[in-house]
Structures are given as structure tokens and as C-alpha cells.
Amino acid sequence: MAKRTTKASHALATPGVRDTSVFDRIVDLAMNLHWTWSPEAQRLFAAVDPALWRSTNHNPIRILEALRSERREALECDETIRTQLETCERELRRYLRARTWFARTARGRDRRLKVAYFCSEYALHESLPQYAGGLGVLAGDHLKSASDLGVPLVGIGRLYRNGYYEQQLRADGSTRVVYPHYDFREWPLEDTGKTVAIPIARRIVYARIWKQMVGRTALYLLDADISRNKPRDRKLTQRLYGGDPESRLQQQILLGIGGVRALRALNIQPTVYHLNEGHAAFAGLERLRKLRMSGKSFQRALQIVRASSVFTTHTPVPAGHDRYPWKMVVKYLAPIGEALGITWEEFLALGRENPDDRKEPFCMTVLALKLSNHVNGVSKLHAHVTREMWKRVYHATNSRDVPIGHVTNGVHPQTWLAPEMGILYRKYVKPRWLGLSPDTDWSRRADRIPPQEFWAMRNKLRARLINFIRQKLLEQIHRRLGPTEDNLLIHDAFDKHALTIGFARRFATYKRAPLIFHDPRRLARILNDPQHPVQLVFAGKAHPNDADGQAYVQRIFRYTRSRPFAGKVAFLENYDMRIGRLLTSGCDLWLNNPLRPMEASGTSGMKPPLHGGLNCSILDGWWAEGYDKRNGWAVGDGRTCKTRAAQDRYDAGALYDLLENEIVPLFYQRNRAGIPTRWVRMMTASLRSVGHPFSSHRMLGQYVRDYYLPAHRR
């Protein structure tokens, strides 16, 4: 595809210039992903063609390319469209020209900070399915907050022709894995015209560099699916997290080594390199190689790389840390290893907890730890677990001596905030999103929202979700040619007034998605109480190769079709950002029951409070910090049982007790006006205590002060 340009660029940059077509100006607006957190821009795109807006999963470029000529002509004469377009153009101009927090506060040499942020996946919008789960959602929100706060940061990643996978459930609930083929011409991408050469084993793999603008922040994506490469190498950027260990290792070479070379090709000179998870750890090796070529000793080069590297680790689950046989590492990294001027044993020691153990596999996380002076976990509890995990890397006997801190994750509020809820925000909370500081506690005014209006909004959001669930279930039934009686059941399924509980996340087994079904009879009594009905909605994907996770999906699906739960429990296929927004805004209660302390942080539970939703969770990850006894519920008391079966039994019992004795009675305890006043007080406490403290603005401000600037200054 040729470099995408439009005539509207000058019109957008210069107020008052209107010599380009409405169509071209809308294309230009769609090329900056600022629209993904602009309700006004999304209203405009939806108005261009409402049916296409829905069928393209909200992809404005696809809408515009699919428009018929008569509709294009009609756009030019539509005064309502023109007025809305001008509003959106002014909004984007104002946003890009605003004086940001970083511009206002950075002094002296700190103004020269330049961060390169590496991640294997970015979740920016549902129309760009380049993500598998929470890691990508976090990375996308990180870029958006960098744009809002004006932090000088560029993103580096890979561009996947087939993405992760689309999830379809068969009639028996087993997963059918579907890999679509994406046409990059239908995405807001710019071809930079640059390619990089990446040594993998004894061959060269080429990668094209694409660019996406996320507000003020540039994201550069590497694409190996080009004609210069052999077929096997073109596959390196076909699928996210697909393939065997050798393919995965080569993908990580492309991200880390290729990412650093891409920055050079683009003449971008970072002062700080932030590796978001160990997938990009090879970036440090490429930096070492370049410094050695410039004449630096290995020890001096190592010192420079370490001082300017930030590494964020995300999981206490052993399987989440990639390990490779040493022969595989030597094979594929031979050109880099030979250029470092050290022995292979010294090279392999960089990825081993015990440098003297020649049988120990090479670990990407260990490499990142050894090449970074600035390391953090993603919650307070996770940092404690991480320090204990990696004591051997630091030759420490006490975990308190391990230099790993924490920055608790956060979410980008405007991305996840339902437009309907935004009306109440503007009226009562009054957040000043433009020019916001990471220290501005915008959610402290939550108690200004009148209880009757807050409750009315919750009812609207729940009703919207129920309508969506019914529509989605009908689509799923029709796709798998389900029986006609299933169609009839859907019309009576779910109640717009019933307590609605949501569980949606990656279906890793430690997250224990089916835990609430531990005692089916007890759960059935809770859900089917005629006076106090309760309903459950699930969504989530397991890795295609995770048989146990796929079995969890199948188990829950089968419950949705069994007599006590049909019409009360639903599973929504193909969980994505759109479904995530609907669930986190529409559910009254957000359920999370991981096996403590396996949840590093989690972010899904940070989104319901933006809409007055409440959390009910194991005290793990972020909730161990966020729970204050007034803003939701803690499942159990944190005790650890000797066996998994005993732990499941205890945690499930604690969850049932909460539902029966506290949660359900409180939800249905109404005053004369029909408002559950105590429940609404908890809604207010939830928004106030979670909104700003667990936002990505707060998170990024902490990264800047505690990690980026210290690394930059060194």
C-alpha cells in the first residue's frame, strides 16, 4: 500500500480553510486515533452510515471506503454533517495545541526526555484487533495518557496480518479458532516508507515500518509480511502469540532488535527505553551491540544500557516467562552474540538466574532484569511476589533487598467511559480532561451526583447491556444453526431490572472463571429467587493452545443451556473492547476470583466504578489496594488453603455467603422512590475511590517521576 495522504491535512491544520471535500476531511479526522476517545467524533462517523458503523465494528476508514458515490455526494450537501465535522476538527485542533502537563512542569534537561515504549500488543480500539488481553489494553491506555499528558513517548510494536483470533463456539461449546486476514488499507495507518533489516540466525529478515498517530503519540509497527521476505519469514507478523517456541523467539527478535533499528531508521533518539513485559528484552542486546561497535567496552556498554532501561514485568505465573533452550538462542542470535565480543557462556549467563548452570534455559524476563536498573511490578502485592520470585537474579537472600518497585496499573477514563455517563460527569463531576495533570483528583466530586440521577443512569446502562446481550445471543444461535426454541428463549432471557453480574477477561485457568458454579444448586437458588433475581454474563478468550482454558469456556457455555441457568447465564463470544465497554458500563457487580496471588494487577475491575459499578473480588492484584470496605466486597479473608480443591471450596463458599447475605439484599433494599440508597452510596464511593487513583494518568505520572526521569538523568 502506498503512503496514505489526504487533501485535508492543511485544512485541519489551518482554521478557516475549507477548500477540500467533506469526505477527505472526515478521512483526515479518522487517521488520528484521538477519535477513539472522542464521543463527538464517533457520533460523526456513526452518522455517515449507521449500518456500516455497526457492521464494521466501528471502523471509520472501512465505512468511508465502502460508501457509494451517491452517499459521498450527499455528504457534501449535508449541513448537519458539516457542522458536526467542524466541531470535531476544532476539538482535535484544540487538543493538539493545548499546553500539556509535561510541557508545563518539565525543567532544564528533563525537557529532552524521549521514551521508547516497547510492547508486543496494543489495544487501541475494537476495529484494530491487534491484542489478546490485558497487556494490550494497558499498553493502549498508556499511549493515550502519554498523549493527554504530553509525555514525549513513542510506541514500538508489531503489526499482525491475522491478529489474535476470532472466537466462535460450536454447538457443544468447544472453541472454533478463526484467523481473519486484515487489509491494512482499511486501517488508519501511514506507511513511513522505511524498512529495517533484522539478523535472525544467518539470514536477514526485512520489516516495513508503519505509523499510527494516537493523539500526540506516534506508534510504530513492524510488518514482516512483505515481498522481500521468504514465505517462512513473512509469517513472523501474521499471528499474535501463535506458533511454536522457535517462531515465538524469532518474533521477539523482530520486536526487540528490529524495534531499536526502526528507531534509528526514523532518526528517533530515545533517552529511555521502556520494555513492557519481557517480549522485547532483545532490544537491550541490540543497544549493547551498537555501543560495542562505537568502541565502548562491554562493561561500559552494559552500564549505559542498564541505566537507561525501564522494565515492567506483568505476571507471577511461571508459564508467562518465556524460556528457550540455549542451543536455540545461540542459533538465532548468533550475529548479535558474536558482535558483543564476549563468550557464549557469558552471553547465555545474561538470561540465566544461575549463570553457572549450563543446563538452565535462557529466560527473557531474566535478560530484561539484568539489562535494566529500573524494574517494577504492576501492583503493590505483585511487586512483593516478584521480588520473592527473582531473588536469585540479584543474589539476595531476603526479598526486601531486591530492587523492584511497583506502579499499579490504571485505565484511560475517556476510552472506557460510556457517553451516557459522560453527561452526568459534565453536569456534576466536571473533569477538565484537556490539560489534565496526573495529580488532579477529578473523581473526588462524585458525591455531587444526585442519587436519583445516578440510579437512573445505572438503569439505563443496564438496559442497554441487556438489549445487547439478547442481540448478541441471537446472532450466536443463528451462526451455529441452533434450534428454533433457543430463539424463543432469548426473547425472555435476562431482566433489565435484575442484579447483573459480569465476568470478562482472559480465560487463564488461575482466573477460575467457573468458580461461581462450584455448587450449582446453591447458585441456582440465588439466580432464580423470584423476588430478588440475579443474572450472570461471561465473556473471554483462552489462548488457542490452552486446552484447560478452552475447557473452562466450554463448561460455562454448557451451563448457559442447562435448565436452572438458561436465560439467567450468558456467554458472549469473541470478547473485544466493544464488548468490554458494554459489560463494564452495564453490569452492577464485577466479579473477579483469581487464585491469589496469581493476578498481577488486572484492569477490567477499574472500569465499572467509572459508571457506579461495584467490585466483588479476591483480595489480589489492584483490588488489594483499592478495596476500602465501602466501595465493594472482598471475597474471603485472604487465607491460603493447602490444596487447590480446598481453596476453590473456601472461596466459592465465601462468594455465595456474600451474595446471599449482603450483595443481593442490599441491591433490592429500596426506599419509597424505588432507589436502593445504601447501594447508591457504595456506587458513589466506588467512583470516588477508584476513578482517579486507578487511572492511567496517575499511573503514567508515577512512571515519569519514579522511572523515566531518573533513567533519563543518568
End-to-end CA distance of the chain: 42
SS3 string of 341-391? CCCHHHHHHCCCCCCCCCCCCEEHHHHHHHCCCEEEECCHHHHHHHHHHCH
609 with 589: CB under 8 angstroms?
no
pLDDT at 19: 62
SS3 string of 651-672? HHHHHHHHHHHHHHHHHCCCCC
User: pLDDT tens digit string along 6-43?
Assistant: 444 434 444 444 568 999 999 999 999 999 999 999 99
End-of-domain residue from the set 78, 97, 116 = 97
Nearest to 346, CA basis, from 279, 308, 292, 397: 292
Q: Is the pLDDT of residue 536 over 70?
A: yes
Provide the domain limits for residue 492.
Answer: 451-694
Nearest to 594, CA basis, from 622, 618, 627: 618
Q: Is the pLDDT of residue 417 over 70?
A: yes
Q: Within a domain: residue 429?
A: no
End-of-domain residue from the set 47, 72, 97 = 97
- CA 323, CA 366: separation in Å to the nearest integer? 9
Domain match, 532 and 622 both: yes
pLDDT at 141: 98
Q: Is the dihedral of CA 270, 272, 274, 275 positive or negative?
A: positive
Burial code of 666-684, b = ≥16 C-beta within 10 A, e = fewer?
A: ebbeeeeeebbeebbebbb
361 with 310: CB under 8 angstroms?
no
pLDDT at 20: 85
Domain match, 269 and 340 both: yes
CATH of the domain at 374: 3.40.50.2000
- CA 33, CA 117: separation in Å to the nearest integer? 18
Q: Within a domain: residue 415?
A: no
- CA 66, CA 73: separation in Å to the nearest integer? 14
Q: For the chain, give the percent of residues with pLDDT over 90.
A: 92
Domain match, 524 and 498 both: yes
Amino acid type, 338: E
Mean pLDDT value across residues 39-65: 96
Q: Within a domain: residue 312?
A: yes
Q: For the chain, give the percent of residues with pLDDT over 70.
A: 97
Domain match, 285 and 192 both: yes
Domain match, 228 and 197 both: yes
Q: Within a domain: residue 131?
A: yes
pLDDT at 490: 77
Q: Within a domain: residue 611?
A: yes
* Helix (H), strand (E) counts: the chain: 31, 19
Q: Within a domain: residue 578?
A: yes
pLDDT at 4: 54
**pTM (2 d.p.):** 0.96
Burial of 104 (0-12, 13-18, 19+ CB in 10 A): exposed
Per DSSP bridges, beta strands 153-158 and 175-178 are: unpaired
Domain match, 379 and 469 both: no
35 with 41: CB under 8 angstroms?
yes
C-alpha cell at 278: 519481557
pLDDT band at residue 517 under the 50/70/90 scheme? very high
User: pLDDT tens digit string along 656-686?
Assistant: 999 999 999 999 999 999 999 999 999 999 9
Domain match, 209 and 112 both: yes
Instruction: Match 520470585 to its residue by C-alpha cell.
Output: 389
Q: Which residues contact 533 (CB under 8 A, 6 or more apart)?
A: 495, 498, 499, 527, 568
* Overall domain count for the chain: 3
Domain match, 257 and 376 both: yes
Domain match, 199 and 69 both: no
pLDDT at 547: 95
C-alpha cell at 321: 516467562
Q: Is the pLDDT of residue 375 over 90?
A: yes
Domain match, 93 and 111 both: no
- CA 162, CA 179: separation in Å to the nearest integer? 6
pLDDT at 1: 37
User: pLDDT tens digit string along 284-338?
Assistant: 999 999 999 999 999 999 999 999 999 999 999 887 899 999 999 999 999 999 9
Burial of 549 (0-12, 13-18, 19+ CB in 10 A): buried
Mean pLDDT value across residues 613-631: 97
Domain match, 477 and 612 both: yes
User: pLDDT tens digit string along 119-169?
Assistant: 999 999 999 999 999 999 999 999 999 999 999 999 999 999 999 999 999
- CA 20, CA 642: separation in Å to the nearest integer? 69
pLDDT band at residue 482 under the 50/70/90 scheme? confident
Q: Within a domain: residue 361?
A: yes
End-of-domain residue from the set 65, 80, 97 = 97
450-454, long-range: CB within 8 Å, 24+ apart, which pairs? Answer: 451/675, 451/677, 451/680, 451/681, 451/684, 452/673, 452/675, 453/424, 454/424, 454/612, 454/680, 454/683, 454/684
Q: Within a domain: residue 417?
A: no
pLDDT at 492: 76
Residue 367 CB neighbour total at 10 angstroms: 24
pLDDT band at residue 488 under the 50/70/90 scheme? low
Q: Is the pLDDT of residue 491 over 80?
A: no
Domain match, 484 and 390 both: no
